[in-house]
Amino acid sequence: MNASSQTEIRIGCSGWMYRHWRGLFYPEDLPVKRWFAYYAEQFGTVEINNSFYRLPKPDTFDSWREQAPPDFRYAGKANRFLTQAKKLKDCEEPVARMMEPVGHLGQGLGPILYQLPPGFALNAERLEAFLELLPANLLHVFEFRHKSWYTDAVAKILDRYGAGFVAHDFPGVASPRWATGPLAYVRFHGGIGKYYGRYREEILLEWSDWIAEQDKAGRSVWAYFNNDGEAAAVHDALTLKAMVRQVRG
């Protein structure tokens, strides 16, 4: 991978439509319909989580594309039917069914996140067969929640298909701090507990150094905070953005 100082680093939150952010992030008098525009003034990316539970219709993706600035990117979370129900098996038709509406994001689409369930242990053959189905012109990243997946063999498979490994700190199954393929992808699930609590400054400083290293290695970097309680995600994302900007120079 060629070193570059021009790769993109995008840091944001896992979602933006949180009522409890009113007064903590969104101004008290700001109408809900203007929340996204306000969010997009602070961040260049957001992770869409509701597509995990129910695949939105194409016109929903159209509206997301139209509301965003030209350089804004959405990371889309793959529908749980692929990852939780099918566990990546026999997915040719459901992958195609998902990609059609997701494609309506156009240039606004960043990585597609596949979050595997904690009870799904290592199955390298199934992973590789699933990777064969995915459009090669899009970015795909995998979040494993069973520790058996944390092997060099899995990292090599992801590398071979140009897919990303999601580094995360989910309690009990925190991943190694790895990156594969052309991108690094990080999910921060909580500084104190699951989805809750601010991160200590020294932890974010360590991550800012790692992000800068991935940038220098030529990888794009995508990082999202999922600790939405008390708007901690917003504050941590802004803090990490400032740290990375300082380290990157």
So what's the pLDDT on residue 194? 86
Question: Quick count: other Cβ atoms within 10 Å of Cβ 211?
Answer: 24
Residue ranges per domain, the chain? 9-248
Per-residue pLDDT of the chain (249 residues; tens, 9 = 90+): 333 344 799 999 999 999 999 999 999 999 999 999 999 999 999 999 999 999 999 999 999 999 999 999 999 999 999 999 999 999 999 999 999 999 999 999 999 999 999 999 999 999 999 999 999 999 999 999 999 999 999 999 999 999 999 999 999 999 999 999 999 999 999 998 888 899 999 999 999 999 999 999 999 999 999 999 999 999 999 999 999 999 987
So what's the pLDDT on residue 181? 97
Cα dist from 140 to 73, 200, 202, whole Å: 14, 30, 30
Residue in 55, 53, 121 with CA at minimum distance from that of residue 87: 121
| CA dist., res. 37 & res. 35, Å (int) | 5
Q: Are 208 and 242 in contact (CB under 8 A)?
A: no
β strands within 34-161, DSSP E: 45-48, 73-77, 109-115, 140-143
- H or E stretch including 97? helix 92-102
* 133-87-94-163 Cα dihedral, nearest 10 degrees: -30
Q: Which two tokens stand for residue 78?
A: 């793959």
Q: Which fold has domain 9-248?
A: TIM Barrel (3.20.20)
Return the DSSP state at 44: S
So what's the pLDDT on residue 248? 85
Cα dist from 211 to 94, 178, 245, whole Å: 34, 11, 10
SS3 of the chain: helix, strand, coil, percent, to 5: 45, 20, 35
| CA dist., res. 41 & res. 27, Å (int) | 13
| CA dist., res. 200 & res. 205, Å (int) | 9
So what's the pLDDT on residue 249? 73
Residue with tokens 């990080």: 186
Question: Residue type for 55, please?
Answer: L
